[in-house]
Amino acid sequence: MKQRKLGNSGLEVSAIGLGCMGMSHGYGNKVDDQEMVKLIHQAVERGINFFDTAEMYGPFINEELVGKALAPMRDKIVVATKFGFQFDPATKENQGFNSRPEHIREVCEAMLKRMNTDHIDLLYQHRIDPNVPIEDVAGAVKDLISEGKVRYFGLSEADALNVRKAHAVQPVTALQSAYSLWDRAPEITVLPTLEELGIGFVPYGPLGHGFLTGTIDANTKFAGNDIRNRIPRFSEESRKANGQLINLLTGFAQQKNVTAAQLALAWVLHQKPWMVPIPGTTKLHRLEENIGAVDIELSAAELVEIEGILTSMKGAGERFA
């Protein structure tokens, strides 16, 4: 597996990582934990060493799963997780933002126990807390880094201004945000800021929550607790409107003898050398398909052709509810 560095931090990881959320949360699917442990091991065997989780996923159970799976090879892999919310101790219901410094410390200790590890490689703030200055958040993580409990600091879905403010207190290693062929908002102000400051970028949703694989259409039915039921872009009307874009991209992929998913990942990988997408899956054949994207070359002419497709067919529907 090819390696990439996340900005100027020195943190080097596999060219793609594995987003683990869907193994426990989000898509309404019931999957066996032992099968997911096996899949994570298969990812490591195939060269992936960068794994993404969060306290939100479950909540908590995804961190436990990832920790259990990676314990035997802990020194060979990079685990990223995220804080930023308050959960009811009894019901685990999300009660809203909480990035107060004292809470960050409590959450970090709980994460270390759940994942049965003595350190977190990359700790992200999951979302900006409007009630806590980002400088205080960065300072709290800086303290955890100085204590050896955390190695690198990250932000998720932060704007350029908050990235700058945080980076001035504690260097930000990576920003994680949604980014894909049909979700390019970070290109406006965020990516230029990251490039200027030497910060890596970790796109989540590089396959458009499955839509860019070409396996979802207007007739697809989602489970009742699937998060896509709440995303306007996945309404039946939007899926129908977006079908032509997917057909054009799928046709391009077929001409190149790759899958639609591989094209979507290869496109992300060609944008910047400091981008490391983290597609998620619960299936071995999809994992292997995603890994295959790392070796796909897109010429300058092909990138221009893809850009023409994207310009002519704007995606319908908002990305968030």
Q: How far apart are CA 128 and CA 137, in angstroms?
A: 9
Q: Distance between CA atoms of 119 and 314, rounded to whole angstroms? A: 43
* 152 is known as an active-site residue: no
102 Cβ neighbours under 8 A, 6+ residues apart = none
Question: Could you give the CA distance from residue 172 to residue 165 in angstroms, rounded to a whole number?
Answer: 10
Q: Of the listed 27, 57, 124, 179, which one is catalytic?
A: 57
Q: List strands edge to edge, sheet with 200-204.
A: 18-19, 50-52, 78-83, 120-125, 150-156, 172-178, 200-204
- E strands along the chain, which residues? 3-5, 12-14, 18-19, 50-52, 78-83, 85-87, 94-97, 120-125, 150-156, 172-178, 200-204
- Asked whether the CA dihedral 119, 125, 131, 135 is positive or negative, the reply is positive
Provide the annotated active-site residues. 57
